[in-house]
Amino acid sequence: MKEFTYTITDPVGIHARPAGLLTKEVKKYASTFTLTKGDKSADMSKLMKLMSLGVVQGDTVTIKVEGPDEETAAAAVEQFMKDNF
Amino acid sequence: MALDYRKCAEELVPLLGGKENLISAAHCATRLRLVVADNSKIDQKAIENVEGVKGTFQSNGQFQIIIGTGTTFQSNGQFQIIIGTGTVNKVYDEFLAVTGLTAASKDDVKAAAAAKAPVWRRMLKTVGDVFVPILPAIVASGLMMGIVEALGHAIPGFSDSDWYGFLDLVSNTAFTFLPVIVAISAARVFGGNLFLGAVIGLMMVHPSLTNGWNAADGYDVWYLFGHGLKIGSYTFGQVNQLGYQGHVIPVIIAVYFMSKLEKWLHKHVPEIIDLFVTPLTTVFVTALLTFMIIGPIFSTAETYVLTGAKWLITAGYGIGAAAMGAIYPITVVMGLHHMYNVIEAGMLAEGGLNIWMPLASAANFAQFGACLAVGVKTKNAKRRSVAIPSALSASLGITEPAIFGVNLRLYKPFVFGMIGGAVGALFGSLSGLGATAYGVTGIPGLLTIDNIPVYLVLLAISGGIAFALTFFFWHEDPEDNDKYLEEKAANEEKALKEEAEHAPVIISSSAGKIYAPVSGKIVPYTEIPDATFAAGTLGEGVGIEPDTEIILAPYDGTISSVAETKHAIGITGENDQEVLIHVGIDTVQMNGDGFTPLVKEDDQVKKGQPILRFSKEKIAKAGHSDMVCVLLTNSDDYEDVKIGADAE
């Protein structure tokens, strides 16, 4: 299992459009992604769940990656988040 | 006999000043609602004679034509509201064809009319919007103050009793701190932070400042930037240490400015430091401007009003008195009436009678008359419930509720009150009435006046004239009528039901059917004017150009998310279908302004149930498209997804 934290800098946070991009991204990998904010977490391939966390600018979230390709997947998604959030 | 719709429309156009004179057109159940460039080009009489037209009227910058066949429901006697249905829309269609205008929604027409209303009318409306929510507080206070003051004058020794002291405290609290209440209400109207609004209001009546009512006794001044820059008697950076007790307008101006500044800062200050930078800057800058600019302007104006008033009442033959009786309520509105007791005290100190009091009383009692007439005449229960107690309070000499809550808002009653006040004041001056004390007007004035019968005549004249003028010449906008409002609500409900019943299937798959959450033109998601939506990043679905301003649940399900910014709602349906309804493009930037969710997370909803209200006007104002995007976000999970108006 791989884990990393990220602090959102995008002013809109993880809202509809960016969230849509994120779900699309994680679906490319075989691993499962879980995003945790405070005591709530969501499967990152589920757009609704992800949005319902209400992640906004300045929030720090933890992302857990589990699966056969977790090494590459975690690195790629971390980079993706840096580029987009 | 069936009406010839085309003929009706064709006859109407020239009578309205031709095509060029028309700005926009819409219709409701019975009326053609038009905004025209030049009202004087309308031949109202001739329009009323066109077959099919039941009547016309003008309101709020709109010209409305009531259309109906008039064959049924005559027993109703009133304006045949229902029978126009089915007729007016046909005339409307022909009307559009004849004029080449495009269809405008009722709200578009209303917005156009609102923009056309003169600035001062819009400002009066704003003052009214601020004042109406606080009426319960000041009506209660006003009535109590009137009674307590009357008792103080009526019962010897009562004004020195403990009871008087206590009652005085209880009754005048709302007026002592009126700027605070006004500021909070204004912050709500202008979309500022309520607590920052409260701070501004509190600051304006801070105990360290000299009470506004004692301005005549003098007050200290701070010179923030020394004595260098002088403009006449005003020094730049001068802060008068004078409170704003009894003021309304300066408070509204200050809070208006505060709200604008706060919103601007929220937009431009980085979020990380927003929480301390924005409120701090907002309060400091607003305070500086309020005390440095608004304060001196109003203090100076008040001094002029005092000088002017002193001069006016000595002008001969009661003319000056009449003028004063007319403009008195305006000075109350402007908050420039604080120094009048200086005049009264002066007169008494010189050993004479207080001849100011009859003028003030005439002016106040006329506002009572006008307000009472509104209360008697109105067909709107809510307006009546405001007008009657406000009138009662005014009869006791506390006119703020009547002026701000009723008369000024409707504007005409206020003017009629000024006329009544002028005539009453003229009579008071000519008959040589005077009071032996100051502080009370209206009915409690009977206790201090030197000639009770003549004073009663004065009250009857001023109140009577204002009442009669208002009763006969003020016409309530029929849209404020209870019946109309009820009908409108019932119609809306019916329309929603119908809309829900007829909603087409817009997305379907093996998992289930998704119905249109709002009526309007449907386009596939690929045509949504936004790259992310159009690329299907959020799933497949449709965009709808909404005709109405209410979103209905597209199927039975559970609300899975309501965006913090209120413009998007997720709903989970059977077989794990996840639908996202996103109202407008880029509307996340509106931060919830213009959106009212009717459900919360985890609520169970039924297909067709209203779940979100939104304002097309606000979305348009913010410069966004109002397209409603309905997307099956997990459309990847199903293989046979069909989209579009005929997905079924």
Distance CA B614, CA B566 (A): 9
Using CA coordinates, name the residue in chain B closest to A16: B538
Q: How confident is the model at residue B184, as a pLDDT?
A: 93
Please tell me the distance in Å from B571's CA to the nearest CA on chain A: 8
Question: Residues of chain B with pLDDT > 90: what percent?
Answer: 14
Q: How confident is the model at residue B230, as a pLDDT?
A: 76
Q: How confident is the model at residue B79, as a pLDDT?
A: 27
Distance CA B407, CA B573 (A): 52
Q: Which of B24-33, B93-102, B420-429 has the lowest mean pLDDT?
A: B24-33
Which among A11, A19, A20 is the nearest to B271, CB-wise?
A11
Please tell me the distance in Å from B612's CA to the nearest CA on chain A: 17
B271 interfacial to chain A (CB closer than 8 Å): yes
pLDDT at B212 over 80: no
Dump pLDDT digits (tens) for B116-142.
Answer: 667 777 777 787 778 778 878 877 787
pLDDT at B423 over 80: yes
Q: Which of B32-46, B105-119, B410-424, B515-529 has the lowest mean pLDDT?
A: B105-119
**Domains in chain A with CATH codes:** 2-84 (3.30.1340.10)
Distance CA B380, CA B516 (A): 36
* Mean pLDDT score, B64-76: 45
How far CA B118 is from CA of B60, B250, B257, B525, in Å, comes to: 10, 21, 21, 42
Distance spanning both ends of chain B, measured CA to CA: 42
Residues 6+ apart with CB under 8 A from B588: A12, A15, A16, B563, B565, B567, B568
- Give yes or no for a contact between B363 and B414, defined as CB atoms under 8 angstroms apart: no
pLDDT at B201 over 90: yes
* Amino acid identity, position B437: A
Q: Which of B26-35, B221-230, B409-418, B568-577 has the lowest mean pLDDT?
A: B26-35
Using CA coordinates, name the residue in chain A closest to B564: A54
* Mean pLDDT score, B98-110: 62
- Give me chain B's average pLDDT, please: 80
Cβ contact, residue pair A16, B271, below 8 Å: no
What is the residue extent of each domain of chain B? 5-117, 315-502, 504-643
Please tell me the distance in Å from B611's CA to the nearest CA on chain A: 17
Q: How confident is the model at residue B86, as a pLDDT?
A: 53
- Residue B162's CB: how many other CB atoms inside 10 A? 7
Class of domain B504-643: mainly beta
Which of the given ranges, B28-37, B339-348, B431-440, B449-458, has the highest pLDDT on average? B449-458
Please tell me the distance in Å from B338's CA to the nearest CA on chain A: 49
Collect all residues of chain A within an 8 Å Cβ-Cβ radius of residue B582. Answer: 16
Q: How confident is the model at residue B60, as a pLDDT?
A: 55
* Mean pLDDT score, B468-481: 83
Q: Would you call B635 exposed, middle or buried from its count of C-beta atoms within 10 A (0-12, 13-18, 19+)?
A: buried
Strands A40-43 and B610-614 turn out to be: unpaired
pLDDT at B482 over 70: no
Q: Which of B361-370, B455-464, B486-495 has the lowest mean pLDDT?
A: B486-495
Which of the given ranges, B182-186, B237-241, B319-323, B487-491, has the highest pLDDT on average? B182-186
Cβ contact, residue pair A47, B588, below 8 Å: no
Question: Residues of chain B with pLDDT > 70: what percent?
Answer: 88
Domains B5-117 and B504-643 share a fold: no
Q: Which of A65-74, B1-10, B247-256, B411-420 has the lowest mean pLDDT?
A: B1-10
Q: How confident is the model at residue B102, as a pLDDT?
A: 66
* Mean pLDDT score, B620-641: 82
Tokens (6 digits) for B374: 């509104």
Collect all residues of chain B within an 8 Å Cβ-Cβ radius of residue A46. Answer: 578, 634
Which among A16, A54, A58 is the nearest to B271, CB-wise?
A58
Please tell me the distance in Å from B408's CA to the nearest CA on chain A: 43
B366 interfacial to chain A (CB closer than 8 Å): no
Dump pLDDT digits (tens) for B387-397.
Answer: 898 898 889 88
The DSSP bridge partners found for residue B36 are B22
3-state secondary structure B21-55: HEEEEEECCCEEEEEECCHHHCCHHHHHCCCCEEE
Q: Which of A64-73, B338-347, B351-360, B564-573 has the lowest mean pLDDT?
A: B338-347
Distance CA A4, CA A70 (A): 12
Using CA coordinates, name the residue in chain A closest to B585: A17
pLDDT at B497 over 70: yes
A11 interfacial to chain B (CB closer than 8 Å): yes
Residue ranges of B 496-535 with Cβ closer than 8 A to chain A: 530, 532-533
Q: Which of B335-344, B445-454, B622-631 has the lowest mean pLDDT?
A: B335-344
Residues of B annotated as catalytic are: 28, 582
B602 interfacial to chain A (CB closer than 8 Å): no
Question: Would you tell me which CATH number, out of the four given (3.60.20.10, 1.20.1440.230, 3.30.70.2190, 3.30.1360.60), belongs to the domain B5-117?
Answer: 3.30.1360.60
pLDDT band at B85, cuts 50/70/90? Answer: very low
Cβ contact, residue pair A58, B272, below 8 Å: yes
Distance CA B353, CA B340 (A): 15
Using CA coordinates, name the residue in chain A closest to B268: A11
Look-up of token digits 């979230």 = A61
pLDDT at B169 over 80: yes
Residues of A annotated as catalytic are: 15
CA dihedral B124, B483, B115, B331 (to 10 degrees): -10
pLDDT at A15 over 70: yes
